Amino acid sequence: MKIEKLVFLLNAEEGNPGIYDLIWELGRFNLTIEDKYKIARLVLTEILQDDLVILEKYKDFKLEEKIATIDKGEIDELLNNPFYWYPCNEILSISLTDKGSEYLDKEIPKYADKINARLSGK
């Protein structure tokens, strides 16, 4: 799960266009779609609770018009709503915090080989 956490943080650092992208990050595994959503939600919740990322709501996938930064108390309600996991609605996107950047800087060197293999699909 550590590698997936780092992959999700890298996704946030790149400026992901929606949390649905996190499901695609799990596409290399032979999992059911339900399991992919469960894992994505678990990892996403962890990095949100640890203040490594913030969750933001945008009007569209271009992330040009921000609606709100989501309060931690609203996270479960939004993640339980399938509406927000699809790119054809308002977009929930994660952004790296300063704490998340520090975490990446510290952890990436420890897992560099695994991360490179994971990102290259090997």
Cα–Cα dist 85/119, whole Å: 22
Residue 33: give the domain boundaries. Answer: 2-120
**Tens digits of residue pLDDT in 63-87:** 889 999 999 999 999 899 888 888 7
Cα–Cα dist 113/122, whole Å: 11
List Cα–Cα distances, 14 to 46, 66, 111, in angstroms: 19, 17, 18
User: How many domains are there within the chain?
Assistant: 1
**Tens digits of residue pLDDT in 19-48:** 888 888 888 788 998 999 999 999 999 999
The answer to whether 106 touches 23, Cβ cutoff 8 Å, is: no
**Tens digits of residue pLDDT in 2-24:** 888 998 999 899 888 888 888 88
CATH of the domain at 113: 1.10.10
